[in-house]
Each structure stands twice: as structure tokens, then as C-alpha cells.
Amino acid sequence: MVLLQIYEFYSHIKLEINEYESIDYPYIYDSKTDILKKRILIIGASGQIGTELTLCLRKKYGNSKVIATDIREDDGTLSTDGPFEILDAMDYKATEDLIIRYEITEVYLLAAMLSATAEKFPMRAWDLNMTSLFNVLNLGKEQKVKKIFWPSSIAVFGPTTPKQHTPQKTIMEPSTVYGISKQTGERWCEYYHKKYDLDVRSIRYPGLISYKTAPGGGTTDYAVDIYHKAVKHQKYNCFLNQETTLPMMFIDDAIRATLSIMEAPKEAIKVRSSYNLSGLSFNPTEIAASIQKKLPDFEIGYTPDFRQKIADSWPQSIDDTAAQNDWAWKNETSLDKMTSIMLENLSS
Ligand code: AKB
């Protein structure tokens, strides 16, 4: 019996070291012990960012180290190769139990209600967006988890914010429920860092474009929907008008940014509210023109709805000098490159 226990102990260590050695990215800042102890919990893993982030983190740290959770059952994408648990992000006790059971060291909180849906259900959006954040911040304060990633958004800006090259620090008077929840969340992240030395890190994501998982309930979602119509050779009727320029980014760049900020040394992270992040800026006519270079017959029409007002309150382009200086951020994917990748993957 004792021999069996010794064997199990050593085979466990061996497995971990093997997983570590199979990792194909260099580690700059974490020690080997930190890497071996790393256990990541993703809350809201089945969404647009969560799916790709989970797959990427598993590739990097090993499947068993990244625990995906969502309020919905998984379709096999995240539960086949690694642990998947049902979790309501508003349930403090259930979140705490998972953190203890899996010996979690880092949490990525991605559960949130986005801008368009939040305007329809203001109180539900506020409850979800704030309660889930307080749950992880308080678990961090109690030292049950060491590091936290929480996404903010360009929605923290409002109609009185300068629209071009919006600075890191500027007027912030968001006019949407989602924006108010993200702006408040940023204040709380900074507060928990200053008051309790909590290592919480954040990015203000622009609209994200991806093909693996569709976004849901956002104002920038048109820039994903348009590709789905284009590959079916259908006309796209856009819910924003043709002049609506918004900050956007291809998902690969967004995931790379997320990993970069989380891997940077603690002292490098000087902004503890949330970092501006710039990728692309385009309007519906420009994305349609990019698609027409590949599919000349593609057509777009315009029927703006309530989302126009949300989009009109947001910046058109973002100044991300702070992210460039503090953790070497640089966007890579151009509009035309993104169009090629989107059309190719959605057609296959
Ligand atoms: C939304 O449109 O609500 C989101 C965002 C910009 O945060 N994509």
C-alpha cells in the first residue's frame, strides 16, 4: 500500500514535468515551480473570447491545468480534452469550491452581458457584471487566488470622450449600462490592487472578430455577422449606418494581448484600472469593400436600429501607448488579412 502511494506520488510528478516540457512557448518571467503550480480557471469559457483563450492556454500549459467553466453545457469543444465544469459566475460558494478543489492560482473572468443585451435587461446586466467581478476580487483578497484577468471594453468611454486616438486617461462618461458596469469595474479593480495588493490585470477590448465562436449581444457583432452572410453569398443588412467607424480587432491579436499582459512581470503593469488596446478602425463600408476584394458580388444595405446610438457614443480609434510601453503590445492583423482568414475558415 505504502509502495503504491510512493509510486502514485512519483508518477504524478513525472506527468507534470512531462507536460511542462511539452510546452512550446518560452517562459520569461515565471519560475519552473510557478509553471508547475499554475492552475487556471476560466469563467464564461464557452463565449467568444473564452473558447479561444481556453484552447490557447491548454496548448501552452497543458490540458489538465486549464479548467473551463460556463453556465451552459459544453458541446464537446472544451470538455473533450480537458476539465469542464458548470458554474454560475454569480455563485460565490461554487466558485470558491472549484478554486479549492482544483488548487487554482489564476482566474480569467469572462462572463458578462454585452452592450446591446444589457440595454434590454439593465438590472440583470448590472447584477451579472458586478457580482461576478466582486466574487473573484474577494476571493483574491482572501488569497484564495493569486492573479486575476478581467476584461473591460471601449464601452467605458462615452459621448463626451474625444473620439480620435482616445487617450488612456480622458473624460469617461459612459451612456450605456454595459459601459457603466465596465467603468465601475475598472475603479474596483484599481481599488483592490491599491488597498489589498491584488494582482488584477485588465484590457479595454475593442470589438472582436472571430470565426470559432460567435459573439452574442454586442454592438460590434455586425463585423462578424457580415462574414457569415458573405460566405453564403447573401446580402448583409447592417444595423449600423455606413459612417460608423469603431475600434475593432482580430481574435488572434486579442488572445495574444491577453497572454502578454498576464505574463508580464508584476512591476511592469502600471495601469491597474484597464489598458487601452488598439487594433483596427473601420466602418461598415470599409469592411464590405474588403470582402468585395475577395467576393466582388457581395452586397451590403443599412437599416440602423437602437444599436446605432450605442455605437455613436463610442470612440473611433484608440491610443494604446501605455500598453505598448508597459508590456510591448503591438497589433499584427490588418483588415484585409482578417477578411482572408475569416472567409477561408467560414467557407470550409
Ligand atoms: C460590445 O459590442 O458590446 C462588445 C464591446 C465593444 O465590448 N463587443
Query: Region 191-217: what's the mean pLDDT?
Result: 97
Q: Is the pLDDT confidence value at 1 over 70?
A: no
Show the cell assigned to 116: 446591446
> What pLDDT sits at residue 210?
98
Between the CA of 216 and the centroid of ligand 1 the distance, in Å, is 9
Q: Is the CB of 114 under 6 A from ligand 1?
A: yes
pLDDT tens digits, residue range 242-261? Answer: 999 999 999 999 999 999 99
Q: What pairs with residue 281 in β-bridges?
A: 247
Question: Which pLDDT score is estimated for 13?
Answer: 37
Tell the burial category of 230 from Cβ atoms under 10 Å away from its Cβ (0-12, 13-18, 19+): buried
Amino acid 62: pLDDT:
96
Specify the 3-state DSSP secondary structure of 94. helix
Which of the four pLDDT bands, split at 50, 70 and 90, describes residue 120? very high
So what's the pLDDT on residue 29? 65
Give yes or no for residue 48 CB within 6 A of ligand 1.
Answer: no
pLDDT mean across residues, the chain: 92
Confidence (pLDDT) at 28: 53
What is the predicted pLDDT for the residue at 40?
98
Q: What is the pLDDT of residue 5?
A: 43
Q: How far is ligand 1, taken at its centre, from the CA of residue 93, in Å?
A: 29
Torsion of CA 334, 339, 342, 346, to 10 degrees: -170
Q: Which amino acid is at 121?
A: F
What is the rounded distance in angstroms from the CA atom of residue 210 to the CA atom of residue 94?
Answer: 30
pLDDT score of 35: 81
Task: Decide whether any atom of ligand 1 lies within 6 Å of the 61 Cβ.
Answer: no
Which of 119, 150, 153 is the best mutation target for the ligand 1 pocket, counting ligand atoms within 8 Å of the beta carbon and taking the most?
Answer: 153
CB 92 within 8 A of CB 140: no
Q: How far apart are CA 345 and CA 255, in angstroms?
A: 18
Q: Give CA separation, 5 vs 14, 101, 102, 148, in Å.
A: 14, 20, 20, 34
Sign of the CA dihedral running 172, 178, 182, 185: positive
Q: In which band, very low, low, confident or very high, does the pLDDT at 11 lie, cut at 50, 70 and 90?
A: very low
Which pLDDT score, from 0 to 100, does residue 22 have? 41
Orientation of helix 335-347 relative to helix 222-231, angle to 10°: 50
% of the chain surpassing 90 pLDDT: 88
The average pLDDT across 70-82 equals 97
Give the confidence band of 3 by pLDDT, cuts at 50, 70, 90. Answer: very low
Residue positions annotated with a catalytic role:
178
313: Cβ below 6 Å to ligand 1? no
Amino acid at 59: K
* Residue 100: pLDDT band with limits 50, 70, 90: very high
pLDDT at 34: 79
* Residue with CA closest to ligand 1 atom 8: 207
pLDDT band at residue 9 using 50, 70 and 90 as cut-offs: very low
Q: What is the pLDDT of residues 218-241, one digit of tens each?
A: 999 999 999 999 999 999 999 999
pLDDT, one tens digit per residue, over 288-327 is: 999 999 999 999 999 999 999 999 999 999 999 999 999 9
Average pLDDT over residues 60-82: 97
CB atoms within 10 A of CB 178: 27
- Distance from residue 23's CA to the centre of ligand 1 (Å): 33
Q: What is the mean pLDDT of residues 150-166?
A: 98
pLDDT score of 21 more than 70: no
